[in-house]
């Protein structure tokens, strides 16, 4: 991986998965076609259909404008989850996972998130994996991780399903009924989900001390004792 190639904004390297202000939500109105959500434009519907669901439509312009650190770009998040790509540097985590006994996943664990660790077996996440070096940089600079975090090596991350706005047929129209729905793969309700993110289930989880791993790798250096 190369952290030096990441876009820099006000001295901070911007994670690849983050959204930029020049990237816009261009999701049009949805309709029901053949019992599935669809856009009026069949070409856009085809382009936005992935993993059994219709996805929100966003323009793609990484590096343009200002970064939205706390927001994930749907298309990049989906690609990173599916291919086990580091959400910070945009490169595969497969090789590191093979040598270190699992992909590294981080979860914010402060008052803001309300999460208290450790990361548990079978837990589901919307955050793609990271490399050790990328994760170590994130916990020292990323606002939602500065408040506290949990880290785990995950030997078997499995695509679980999709997160988005669940719709239903009501009164002659298709209407949103749950803005924060998580629907598993194989569930017929995926046809009525306007998807925004992919959900991964974490299996064979081993919680780790990230600071100790970083120190062993020579990343933490003099900071290890802080």
CA distance 130 to 219: 15
Nearer to Zn ion, 131 or 167 (CB): 131
The footprint of Zn ion on residues 87-116 (CB under 5 A) is 88-89
Smallest distance from the beta carbon of 106 to Zn ion, in angstroms? 12
Q: From 11-19, 20-28, 123-131, 159-167, give the range in contact with Zn ion by CB under 5 A.
A: 123-131
User: Would you state the structure tokens that stand for residue 182, as one six-digit string?
Assistant: 């998580």
Q: Which of 5, 214, 206 shows the shortest CA–CA distance to 91?
A: 5
CA distance 90 to 70: 17
Q: From 41-49, 96-104, 113-121, 127-135, give the range in contact with Zn ion by CB under 5 A.
A: 127-135
CA distance 141 to 67: 14
Residues touching Zn ion, count (CB under 5 A) = 6
In the block, which residue shows the tokens 């208290």?
116
The footprint of Zn ion on residues 4-63 (CB under 5 A) is none
The footprint of Zn ion on residues 68-87 (CB under 5 A) is 86
Residue 43 CB burial class (10 angstroms; 0-12, 13-18, ≥19): exposed
Nearer to Zn ion, 15 or 108 (CB): 15
Is residue 134 within the footprint of Zn ion (CB under 5 A)?
yes
Contact predicate 78/50, CB 8 Å: yes
Residues that bind Zn ion in the complex, under the rule CB under 5 A: 1, 86, 88-89, 131, 134
């Amino acid at each position: 991986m190369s952290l030096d190639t990441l876009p820099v904004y006000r001295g901070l390297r911007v994670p690849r998965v983050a959204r930029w202000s020049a990237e816009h939500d261009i999701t049009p109105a949805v309709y029901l076609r053949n019992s599935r959500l669809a856009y009026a434009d069949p070409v856009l519907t085809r382009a936005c259909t992935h993993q059994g669901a219709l996805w929100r439509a966003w323009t793609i312009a990484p590096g343009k404008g200002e970064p939205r650190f706390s927001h994930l770009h749907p298309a990049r998040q989906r690609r990173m989850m599916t291919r086990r790509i580091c959400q910070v540097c945009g490169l595969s985590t497969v090789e590191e996972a093979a040598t270190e006994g699992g992909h590294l996943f981080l979860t914010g664990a402060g008052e803001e998130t309300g999460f208290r660790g450790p990361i548990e077996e079978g837990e589901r996440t919307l955050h793609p994996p990271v490399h050790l070096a990328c994760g170590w940089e994130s916990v020292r600079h990323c606002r939602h991780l500065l408040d506290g975090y949990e880290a785990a090596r995950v030997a078997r991350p499995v695509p679980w399903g999709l997160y988005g706005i669940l719709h239903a047929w009501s009164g002659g129209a298709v209407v949103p009924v749950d803005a924060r729905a998580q629907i598993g793969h194989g569930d017929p309700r995926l046809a009525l989900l306007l998807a925004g993110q992919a959900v991964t289930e974490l299996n064979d989880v081993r919680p780790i001390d990230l600071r100790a791993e970083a120190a062993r790798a020579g990343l933490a250096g003099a900071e290890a004792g802080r």
